[in-house]
Each structure stands twice: as structure tokens, then as C-alpha cells.
A and B are shown apart, each in its own frame.
Chain A
Amino acid sequence: MTPLLELRNVSKAYMRGVFGRERFVALQGVDLALDEARPTIIAIAGESGSGKSTLGLLVLGLLQPTEGVVLYRGKAVSTLRGADYQRFRREVQAVFQDPFAVFNPFYKVDHLLQVPIEKFKLARSRHEARRMMEDALQAVGLRPEEVLGRYPHQLSGGQRQRIAVARALVLKPRLLVADEPVSMVDASLRAAILESLRRMRDEHGISILYITHDLTTAYHVADSILVLYAGRVVEAGEVERVIRAPKHPYTQLLIDSIPWPDVTQPWGSKPLAKREGERASVGSGCRFAPRCPSAMPHCWQRVPPLYRLAPEHVVACYLYESEQAAQADIARA
């Protein structure tokens, strides 16, 4: 059966410098598949610059891969035309990181909800359109009478982000790319948004790429997780396994740095090897080697492949070399 979404060895390089001579690899060799019959929430986790947002943009077709291919229902996203493209545009929706950037300040916020309803002819009447907008707003914990008819600058960041989530909900998509959807939303309402994401999966069969740097929410909402570091998958698997028993030294560092809301669980028992902003040149080796407390000489020589530790758990680290080398296929990860 054709997967809903498939990434085959996808890489993306940006050209930098005055004449585009500097090549910056944002994403390197990522494989991923999502089955429509088994709607899943996959968390894509990593720090800024890890390539997680690039991955989201590739899936949305807003960027073209330098190598590899992104397939939607078996067709390369970059070649979709006509009805296929329309369908892709409706079925694949996005919620972006910055609730300040997605609004046009000259339009009332209603505009953001009206446009998709009109474009895809979802409502038969003005009244029905209004009801759809109100339902979607209520589903994300907003009072329609308080936000409709207002301008973006009159709303808080949290309110705007929830409107963006509501906009995606209106279209009843098959796949949602949610890039940090709750990072600017209040803790008390995060749960509500995460719950609505999960309902999208359970009740509407929507698969979600949940792009985040927040592993606490990833742990709670996702079925599986893919941890990126400097453009490569360092660890992927079933979320319970990865968060509870992280194998890659980077994942371990990430999880150790989570500020759990628990005074008996102080963060940061692991020392930090390197400061942020220092990414030493690693040549051909593992990208994490400069910060890695367990780096070995051959880590600097070549990039570790993905080793399969369990059917639902792969890790790219030579510490696990003895484990059977996994195929690069992390389809069910």
C-alpha cells in the first residue's frame, strides 16, 4: 500500500556566501514513512539549526530537496499539478512557529479562517462558514466573540497561535505539520491544544509531524520521535523508549536538560561539554563528536550509521556498533 507520506534519503543544502559557494547542509539523508491507515503523531525534535523546520518545509513542498524525494500518496510533491496539487494543498496543513508572522496586520483575524473556507468551498452559506469558524475557535479554547472582528495586534501571541491551529482544523487535513505549535502558548492551555492534536489523530485520522524542541510535550503527545542533530537523525523510535531510556549521548543531554515541573527532579546532572554557538568543524565525522562526552577516535573519522537496537528503536552512535547495523529504513520508527 502506498504510504501517505514518504521521505526517501532526503537531503537539503543551502547555498550561502556572496556567490553561493558555501554549502550548508541543513538536512542529510532522512528517511520517513507515514501510513494513512495508521495515523501517527511523530515528533521531530532537535535544537535550532538541527534541520527540523527544514524537514517541515520539505514535507509542505515549500522547499525542494537537494537529494532524495518527498512523496505524497506515491507522487513526488515537487511534480504535483492540477487536482493532485489542490488535494495536497488541502490535505497537508501547517501551523508555524511564530504567531506574529502568519497574520497580515491589515486584515481582521477572521480573514485567516475565511480564506481557506472560501478557497476550498467548505461552506454552503455564510452562516455555515461562521459556524465552522466558531467551532474551530472553541476547539482551541478561544471565545469566538472575543477574537472574531479583531485585528492581530489586539490579540496576544497565545491567542494568535490558537487561531492558527483553528485554521488548520477547519480544513480537516490528512497530515498536519505543526512547527512548535505550543511554544508560545500558556502552560494551562498547552494541554488543550495537545489534546486537540491527539483528537485530530484519533477521531479524524490525521497524522501529525510535531516539530519541537520541547521534549516534555513531545513525550506526551507523540507516538514516536525522531531526534535530529545538525541535520542528521541521531536517534529515532517509539517515544516511550527514547525518552525513558535515551541511547545517543545527545538525546541523553537533551533529556537531562528538560526542566521537569518537579522539585525533586533537578535538571542538569550531566555536565555540559561545550557551550552553545560553538560548533567545531568535524570534517567527515559524527557531528556531535565535539560536544560528546563519550567521543572515541573513530567518531571523528566517519559518520556513524543507524544501529537498530530494537524493532522500534534506532540510534546513530558507535557506542552501539556491536548491535546489528540497521538499514537506513526507519519507516516504522
Chain B
Amino acid sequence: MTLQESPVLRVRDLRVTYYTDAGRVTAVNGVSFDLAAGERLGLVGESGCGKSTLALALMRMIKPPGRIESGSAVVRTEHGEMDLLALDEESMRKARLSVISYIPQGAMNALNPVLRVGQQMLDALQAHAPHLSRAEMRARAEAALASVELPKDVFDRYPHELSGGMKQRVCIAIGILLSPRVIIADEPTSALDVVVQRQVMETLQRVQEQLGAALILIGHDMGLMAQVTHRVAVMYAGQFVEVSPVQAMFTQPLHPYTQALIQSLPRLDNRGVFRSLPGVAPSLLRLPSGCVFHPRCAQVMEVCRREPPPAVHTADARFVLCHLYGDDENVAPRATLTTSPQEVRR
């Protein structure tokens, strides 16, 4: 599996709006990105920036008052390409788990307490792959448990008999039951201890590599992103403000928001230095004019208050949404946003 192939997921101009009593809220505002097979993309941002909404939109699980307004999300499978956002309900239902799977936040607490783990896995298979025989289903479920390094007897155990880490492994096992092309994991380890977190992440990474699936890892733990992902997308008020290879993101962040985010991180060498972002994330109901980040930006210019920033694709395959980089000569004019293989393989 090489990463030069055409992307396994191509998202273009995705927009999701919630029609709330207080007004219209655009939670995902024109997001575009590509994802290569085997690639791990980190998706970070403050709560309410739209990262979970983006995941739900890709799963077509946005419920009223939310609505997907526009966009496409094309997944390449062995049977050709399909636009998840254009599928009818029944095809989308089948695509979930077999084409794209979602491990939601707190998934481990969503396991049914009165059903054995194995039964819950069989239910998932029954719903999404009814053509399989009973024996095949059982074999798949057991293989999935084995691939997340759980002992065989977990199949016959109840969720309360498992530790948090083991439950999270069960959720990963369910996520990979039907070998999806894209796995979305929303804060898969946020409730776990560091040692367990590391073990679970190593497992998730390994099964994702074995499947050759792309992984979207949603979270706000930049440390985890630095350790696990190839590329990081930073989301702010419904938009991607920067997408960069992980190395570049941490050593040379482009967007002032990313810069502030990186600076706010606790490291070994800056003990007791608390640099938090000034201000509060904007209310999506009343977005600032021009660049949505300008009220909190340390490098704000006059133009930022007036005009929305340009989408800049740099020569080294980075993306940034900022006026600072609009006229830079280092910046290639609208190169396509693709990942360079060298950058991705760390």
C-alpha cells in the first residue's frame, strides 16, 4: 500500500448547518481535504469548533435541526467510488461499518450492559452484513477481538466485567468488523490512563495499518496527535484554518491560532509557564466579521477585520487560511492539497 495512490477519501466544500431557535449555526463551513489510504489525520480544535459535527456528517448521522447543506465526500473502494453524501439512506446504512466506521466519543460507555460483548458484535454484523452466515459472523467477531489483542473469552463476557481499556478495545473491534476504508475515532482514549491509552492507541494504529484504512483521529490532546498522526488539521469555528504534516505543525506552525495552541502546550522544558489563548472561542451564532479568528489573533491586521482570509496552499503541501500568507512568494498559487509521501511516512 503506497500513499501515492489517489486519495481514499476526498471531501469537498462540506457545509453543515444547525437551525436552532436562536438562529442558524454553520458548524462545518466549507471544509475540504483529502485522505490517503493508510494515512492518519489528526483533527483538533476547541469544543464547539465543529470537529464532531464533521465526523457525524461523514457518517450521515446529522439529525435535525442539523442539515448537511452541500459538499461531497467521495470514498474509493474496490467497487469504485461512492459519494457518501449522495447515497440513499439504505446504501448509506450499508456503507456504515463496511466503508466508513465511527468510534464515537465515550463509545465504551455505550456498550449495552445486559448483552454479552459477542452478541453486540453479532448484532452489528447482522445489521450491516446480513449476507454472512452465522458461523462467518462469529468467526469475524472473534478475529476482530483477536486483532485488538483481547482474549477469546471476552466474546462471552458482559461489558461490566471488562476494564475501560478493554471496553475501548471492544469498540475498536466493532469498528473494524467489516474492514472499512475510513475509520473515524472521536477521542478514543480520552477517558483512559496514559499507559492504557498508549496500549489502545498502539492497537488502533496497528489494525488501521493492517487494513490499510485511513484514520481520522479527533481530539484535543496535541500530545497524542504528535505521537500518532501523519498530518494534523486544525479546526476553528467550523473551518480548517491549517492542515500540515505533523512535524511541520509542531515545529513551524503557520496559522496564528495553531501557533498559540502549540505554545499553550505543557512540555518538559516549560514547566509552570501557562500560556493560554486569549479570549473565548466565538459563538457560532455571532461570528466576527472578516477572519473569524481576528478578535483573538496576536498578529491581527486591518484587512483581517474586513475580509475573510484566503485559502492558501503552500508548495510543501500545507494549507492555511490566513491573510498573513496571502501574498507570500513562498506560497504556490493554489496547488492542490495532497500529501507528499515522504512527509507522511514518519
A interface residues with partner B (beta carbon < 8 Å): 47-48, 141-143, 146, 156-159, 183-184, 186-192, 194-195, 198, 213-217, 219-221, 240, 243-244, 253-254, 257-263, 265-268, 272, 275-277
Contact = CB atoms under 8 A, between A and B. Distances in A.
Which 9 residue pairs of A and B lie closest in terms of their CB atoms, listed nearest first?
A191-B276, A259-B223, A47-B193, A277-B163, A192-B276, A276-B165, A195-B274, A156-B47, A261-B265
A257 B274 contact: no
A244 B268 CA distance: 8
Given A258-B194, A259-B226, A157 B274 contact: no
A262 B267 contact: yes
Contact of B275 (A141, A191, A260, A277): A191
B195 A259 contact: no
Interface of B: 44, 46-48, 149, 162-166, 190-199, 202, 220-228, 246-247, 250-251, 260-262, 264-268, 271-277, 280, 283, 346
B223 A260 contact: yes
Nearest to A138: B280
A48 B164 contact: yes
B274 A187 contact: no
Contact of B194 (A143, A157, A158, A257): A257
Given A156-B48, A262-B226, A276-B199, A188 B165 contact: no
Contacts of A194: 274
Contact of A216 (B47, B223, B264): B223
Contacts of B225: 261
Nearest to A276: B165
B226 A263 contact: yes
A146 B198 CA distance: 37
A189 B226 contact: no
A184 B190 contact: yes
B163 A260 contact: no
Contact of A159 (B47, B251, B261): B47
B196 A276 contact: yes
Contacts of B195: 47, 253-254, 257, 272, 276
Nearest to A46: B193
A244 to B, nearest CB: 8
B264 A191 contact: yes
Nearest to A192: B276
Contacts of B202: 268
Contacts of A257: 194-195, 197-198
A184 B199 CA distance: 20
Given A156-B48, A275-B149, 8 more contacts: A186-B220, A187-B221, A191-B276, A244-B268, A259-B194, A261-B250, A263-B346, A275-B165
A188 B226 contact: no
B198 A268 contact: yes
28 contacts: A47-B194, A47-B195, A141-B280, A142-B280, A143-B280, A183-B191, A187-B264, A188-B46, A188-B277, A190-B276, A191-B276, A213-B194, A217-B266, A219-B268, A220-B274, A253-B195, A257-B197, A259-B227, A260-B268, A261-B223, A261-B226, A261-B265, A261-B266, A261-B267, A262-B226, A265-B268, A272-B195, A275-B165
